[in-house]
Structure 1
Amino acid sequence: MSIQLTGVSKAFGKFQAIESLSLSIQSGEFVAILGPSGCGKTTLLRMLAGFEQPTTGEIAMNGTVVAKPGFSLPPEKRRIGMVFQAFALWPHMNVAEHVRFPIRHHKETPARVRANEQERIAGVLQMVGLSQHGTRMPHELSGGQKQRVAIARAIAAEPSLLLMDEPLSSLDAMLRMEMRREIQAIHRQTGTAIVYVTHDQGEALAMADRIVVMKDGRIEQIGTPQDIYLRPQTEFVARFVSKANLVRGRWERNHFTPIGGDGTVRWNGERVADYFKEAGMYPVRPDQFQLGAPGRARGLRGEVRNVQFQGKEFHYHVHCADGLLEISSPLQFQLNDEVSMTLAGGEED
């Protein structure tokens, strides 16, 4: 299912949740809507689902308008599946009955799926790894198994679009990693378009074909995970996704001289967005800095103010002329050590 949003906005009284948003989603595409709480991502999902009407603009699915001011095709007629943050399982139904429910009750369920109900239930349970759990009740399942049931129920009727609203946020870290792989596998097997709402940068970067970064009801940047992470276009995207330090300094075309250097430190900025050049900043991710002892490398000078051991690397806060910088490095330094900071791959002679 292809989706087209054109000039869509949503207001709740005087509060503007979505500001004139336009977006295209291709059939079979996995799109993550990423942003902090209150940015409008769940409101956008609810409009795609049919739970909210847009205040302005149109939403079209496969070329047919399904929502505009004063009109919204109800969810049961949109051939969509939904997975919520809460598992939302019915306590009186076992696993197989949860999967059977949408097959029988969704108006858009394909006839061939209805005609082969038991085969479809068995296939979906196998897809989510619950073939041996069909007769179990929700209270007999673990958190990860409950989320698998919710996903199985959402895909049972072969939806053309799967909407997922922070589905992994209630799971522990190990389960989240496991469920990421499960969702990716299901996407590959079904070919269903997925719109996945999350505030977790790791989830979006790991799973999506494209990421839509939102802030205050507006789109900040759209791109592949690599584009969003490696080539942020705004200060918000640089900080929120890449966790970048925004080093201040002076630009001369594509050459950047940071504050605190001796005048000979220059960084190549050919791939840095114009926004940062106009603002006199250079975005540097924590892993892009290389730490060394002062005098051994030409670079910025600073003092270690905080150290956190993270297994394969150390996370440092280093105070320099431009303030406090966050840096990740496999090298070990002590609190109050003087260090030199160079830019990996960006230094100029």
Structure 2
Amino acid sequence: MVALSILDLVRVNEGSGPKQALDRARDAARRAEELGFTRYWVAEHHNAPGIASAATSLAIAHIASGTNTIRVGAGGIMLPNHAPYVIAEQFGTLAQLYPGRIDLGLGRAPGTDQMAVRALRRSPENAENFPQDVLELQAYFAPPEAGQRLQAVPAAGTNVPLWILGSSTFGAQVAAELGLPYAFASHFAPDALMPALKIYRARFKPSDQLAAPHAMIGVNIIAAETDAEARRLATTQQMSFANIFRGSRGLSQPPIDDIESYWSPAEKAQAAHMLAFSIYGSPATVQDRLGELIETTGADEVIVVSDVFEHEARMHSFELIAQNITPVP
């Protein structure tokens, strides 16, 4: 079976705050480690009150401090928002503190709205420099050369593994050209998944980091004892998408019994399109549908998004996934 990992949105629930969200993430990573998941990633989002991982490197440090063996990282850092030198310093520090456990996934989208982009003091045109910025960042992690006057301390020599993230074919081309692992955001942007994977595999050039293509796909998975209960838990995520369409990025809401009473037909259609790669069901349902998806895509790794309001229900979902779909190292 393919490797299984987790992408945590670090959602802030109604009735709680960012501290509780970050602590739940650390607890969830500890449980994921016990269950045998390969890696635990968090992502950079800004100006989103319902997501607590804006300072992504700090969130990673908090999670890594509560675990021992699971890989922890960014899925991802939106590189146009930052100088590569600063990201190298941050993730080099993480690699020194948690050697052999830090991943750095890189995206070229801003991960926010234009108002926050201006507040970050970065230009939208920075995205055009993404491939060059990746190479610059990679160089900072390499061992220093004799006479090198500029180093990203303490990143030099840590060789933090880089991933390219994407929701279009552009990221696939970059990952293939640079010989890096590729993660596709099919958990919210399913349209270009198959073309992107085809391009990535066809054009892949081996590198010092990676000898053969390694493709990860994002999949929304919620497992419960019954299909009906899993579908009920999934209404939290469905309401979040409906709220985004309404221009409201609020806190995570508890599940409801009838999602049809919450969203309009247009919102339902739009959410269904974006959430096409979502599996909600009993262990048997999850196993069957995920097996079909892996066979169709040939994915080497699946990164699971379980946007569940109740922490214990989310942990139970992880347990059911791990118990019924055996990951490989």
Q: Same fold (TM over 0.5)?
A: no
Structure (1 or 2) with the greater strand fraction: 1
Higher relative contact order (CA 8 A, sep 6+): 2
Bigger radius of gyration:
1
TM-score (norm 1): 0.30
